[in-house]
Amino acid sequence: MVLNISLPDRHTFYAGRAQKSSSSSSSSSSTTFQSIDPSTAKPVCTIHTSSQSSIDSAISSAKSAFPSWSSTPPIERARILHKAVQILRSRNDELAKIETLDTGKPFSETSTVDIVTGADVLEYFANLVASGGLNGESFRLRDSAWVYTSKEPLGVCAGIGAWNYPIQIALWKSAPCLAAGNAMVYKPSEVTPLHAQFLAEVYKEAGLPDGVFNVVYGAGDVGSYLTKHPDIAKVSFTGQVSTGRKVAGSAAGEMKYVTMELGGKSPVVVLPDADVDQAVDGAMMANFFSTGQVCTNGTRVFVPDTLKAQFERVLLQKIKEVRAGDLMDMDTNFGPLVSDAHYKKVTQYIRHGTTVDRARLLCGGFDQRPTNLPSQLKNGYWVSPTVFTDCSDDMRIVKEEIFGPVMCILPYSSLEEAVARANDTELGLAAGVFGKDINQCHRVVKQLQAGITWVNTWGESPAEMAVGGWKQSGVGVENGRRGLEAWVRNKSTLVEMGGTVPTVFAKL
């Protein structure tokens, strides 16, 4: 069943409602772009790019709302956010259909992951601030003096989302931001923008004051204008490394706070004693979930020489369970790539791996599409899961982030070699180990240079777990207790109670 949802045009959302994205009274004067259903390549909604004047208005709305919201007691802010959690969960399937329409991810995934995990994060931070998570510390410095600290909100913050987990990432950013007492201007990716107004309306219905959460639309120029705006105190960005460097550089030049969650080329290390069936399951989750469009994907799979043949044999059997098709069928577990541009990028990498890198193609390929697709899906951005084996570290498909369903199997002869090769990258977002000896798993995972690591599993990022990259994969963390710290600034106060003011300017 192809989703047939009709959505009205989307405009900038500020001061509690959608408003024209252009300064002109005529909507036709604003630049527009289309939201495309990746499964069919058909447009589903027109988005009006936010003009600089409308971005200014959104920021002004947030700036006006900040004093009242930041002075609202944390427990009262938490009650509003909890109400938003209830609304999100009550509308899970409705919102999941929007995510499926916008991203091309199967409903079996969006209905069980995207809104669910986003709501979990919102609930977590609401609970955290309600239970003293914003409390500072107090200590006696000496008999006549003591010191106390407080965690103060930053002000108006910019959230710049990514296209692969639209509403989840929007909640990962807005939840701690709002819980800490900040206001936000949020820019979704221009590739998957549909969720943004729905989330803004959920917050409004929950009782969030007008102006505390606002939405602007557009591509990199909108993000750049937002980042450089003098009234923005912090920028939180999720996206590719090259763009993140530009955003971070621009924000740092203005002395703004930043959180950057960027890309990866993460290693999966299969230990010699691993259960091959389980290791293959983990490697498939690390490569084909969300059609490989996950920043933490473990696309470099290091397999011992002694297990390589068995690993490949089991993988070819299990890959038959990757099921593309009707995205609303709960048996479908694999969707198209997100856009035509991304489809061309991924298939170009696969072609390069075949014709230039000369890796051995185990299955898939740049000209392979899933079989038995319904006729109405034939024009979508579909590609088959692809596996290269006998790969070497110098291959382009091994070194560069592809962000698609492309697995590279790299044989190794010793664990020391595997660890060294796994770490030989400028990126350090995620890494994982599969093996039966849990002590050895811990020893190996300790040596892997990544901010997010897993043992005998892959991909789970609960709200309680802080996640963030090392090296070129990011700055700061999201989620967990440390995730709240990224949205506040410290104030320290020293109180002298001795009855006199210390001075060196006394009479002799």
Domain of 128, CATH number, reads 3.40.605.10
pLDDT tens, position by position, 286-295:
999 999 999 9
Residues 187 and 103 grouped into a single domain: yes
Question: Please, what is the average pLDDT of the chain?
Answer: 96
Residues 202 and 326 in one domain: no
Residue 27 pLDDT grade (very low, low, confident, very high; cuts 50, 70, 90)? very low
Domain count, the chain: 2
Q: What is the mean pLDDT of residues 482-501?
A: 96
Contact, 38 vs 341, CB < 8 A? no
Q: Are residues 166 and 95 in the same domain?
A: yes
Do 227 and 352 reside in the same domain of the chain?
A: no
Question: Is 261 in the active site?
Answer: yes
Judge whether 357 and 389 are in contact, CB under 8 Å.
no
The DSSP element (H or E) to which 498 belongs, if any, is none
Q: What is the mean pLDDT of residues 480-504?
A: 95
Please state the φ and ψ torsions of residue 70, each to the nearest 5 degrees.
Answer: -70, -25
Domain containing residue 430: 267-455
Which one, of 483, 501, 503, 492, lies nearest residue 128 by Cα? 483
pLDDT at residue 25 above 50?
no
Question: What CATH number has the domain bearing residue 363?
Answer: 3.40.309.10
Question: Does residue 499 fall inside a structural domain?
Answer: no
Burial of residue 451 (CB within 10 Å: 0-12, 13-18, 19+) is buried
Q: Are residues 274 and 337 in the same domain?
A: yes
Residues 202-257 have pLDDT tens digits of 999 999 999 999 999 999 999 999 999 999 999 999 999 999 999 988 888 889 99
* Rounded Cα gap, residues 53 and 32, in angstroms: 16
**In this structure, are 374 and 484 located in the same domain?**
no
Q: Distance (Å, rounded) from C-alpha 344 to C-alpha 131?
A: 49
* Same domain? 208 vs 281: no
Is there a domain that residue 503 lies in? no
Distance CA 407, CA 361 (A): 10
pLDDT tens digits, 68-125: 999 999 999 999 999 999 999 999 999 999 999 999 999 999 999 999 999 999 999 9
Tell whether 307 and 430 lie within a shared domain: yes
Residue 7, domain member (yes or no): no
Residue 18 lies in a domain: no
- The reply to whether 132 falls in a domain is yes
**Are 249 and 174 in the same domain?**
yes
327 shares a domain with 281: yes
Q: Check residue 2 and give its pLDDT.
A: 63
pLDDT at residue 26, rounded to an integer:
44
85 and 188, same domain (yes or no): yes
In the chain, the percentage of residues whose pLDDT exceeds 70 is 98
Span 341-351, mean pLDDT? Answer: 98
pLDDT at 147: 98
Q: What are phi and psi of 46, to 5 degrees?
A: -100, 130
Same domain, 361 and 235: no
Catalytic residue among 123, 261, 401, 478: 261
Within a domain: 43: yes
In angstroms, the CA 184 to CA 118 distance is: 17
